[in-house]
Amino acid sequence: MNLKDKTVIITGASSGIGKACAEKFAKQGANLVLAARQYGTLCEIKQDLEKRFNIQVIPVQCDVSKEDECQNLIHQAVSTFKKIDILVNNAGISMRALFNDLDLVVLRNLMDVNFWGAVFCTKYALPALLKSKGSVVGISSVAGYHGLPGRTGYSASKFAMNGFLESLRIENLKTGLHVLIVAPGFTASNIRHVALIKDGTAQGETSMNEDKMMTADHAANLIVDAVIKRKRTLVMTGQAKLTLFLDKLLPSWLDKLIYNHFTKEKDPLIK
């Protein structure tokens, strides 16, 4: 696929993987519709990308947990560019709390953003994507294949996203719609800084060593390449690939490995 003059919508585009993807798609000549709650940050990204890559960028303030804002996002994309070629459902939040301790509002917030945000955007973009035989991309997680301790809501939301996208793919086997599920391992971004703790507030400081993680820039390169090649699934990092392999082969042993891994967090939830 040649991305020049394609129309790409990216949610959660103000930082991390979303921002990095915006730059990679822009470098390929795609026009962008960037969505996030931080409108000022999106405007700064717009100015930078338009100047560097001679493309058009539309920033849209959007909370993907709200259906009407997702509908408006898609409306603005179609109104401006008359088409949608790629939708990247990247917006997401994480959490860090044991289920026994947390307020259920945490799980509701995780599902609203990570699952329903992808559903809302995909629903309203689907007619245009079917017309263009375009791509729906879901930035999921290794946590969407095997549950992680202290991340019950996060894992549940990513499992739900995976099931939704796999069903959508099968429904559209003969329509030309491309569906890509991306499963990053641990990637350096601000998602853990803003992860919700048991009372629903942001933890503020990551519990992991970000320096040893894949960079958002590297992840974005892999994602854009997978879109171009219309891949079915993209699993990043050797750790994530090993996790998915062991999930099928030795799931009980994997539970113990994961448990031991998370006991080494800063201020661990399990010991």
For 153-177, b/e burial (b = at least 16 CB within 10 A) is bbbbbbbbbbebbeebbeebeeeeb
- The CA distance from 144 to 66, in Å, is 23
The single-letter code of the amino acid at 244 is: L
pLDDT digits (tens, 9 = 90+) for 1-50: 799 999 999 999 999 999 999 999 999 999 999 999 999 999 999 999 99
- The CA distance from 11 to 61, in Å, is 10
pLDDT digits (tens, 9 = 90+) for 134-193: 999 999 999 999 999 999 999 999 999 999 999 999 999 999 999 999 998 777 666 656
Please give the backbone phi and psi of residue 57, each rounded to the nearest 5 degrees, phi first: -125, 130
pLDDT at 85: 98
pLDDT digits (tens, 9 = 90+) for 49-70: 999 999 999 999 999 999 999 9
Please give the backbone phi and psi of residue 257, each rounded to the nearest 5 degrees, phi first: -65, -45
Q: Give me the chain's average pLDDT, please.
A: 94
212 DSSP assignment: G
pLDDT tier at 202 (50, 70, 90 boundaries)? confident
Q: Going from the N-terminus, what domains does the chain have, and what CATH number goes with each?
A: 7-238 (3.40.50.720)
Q: Look-up: residue for tokens 């958002």?
A: 216
**DSSP H helical segments within 172-250, as ranges?**
216-228, 238-249
Angle ∠(158,163,169) on CA atoms, nearest 5:
125
The catalytic residue positions are 154
The closest alpha carbon to 127, from 77, 170, 166, belongs to: 77
- Does this model's pTM top 0.85? My answer is yes
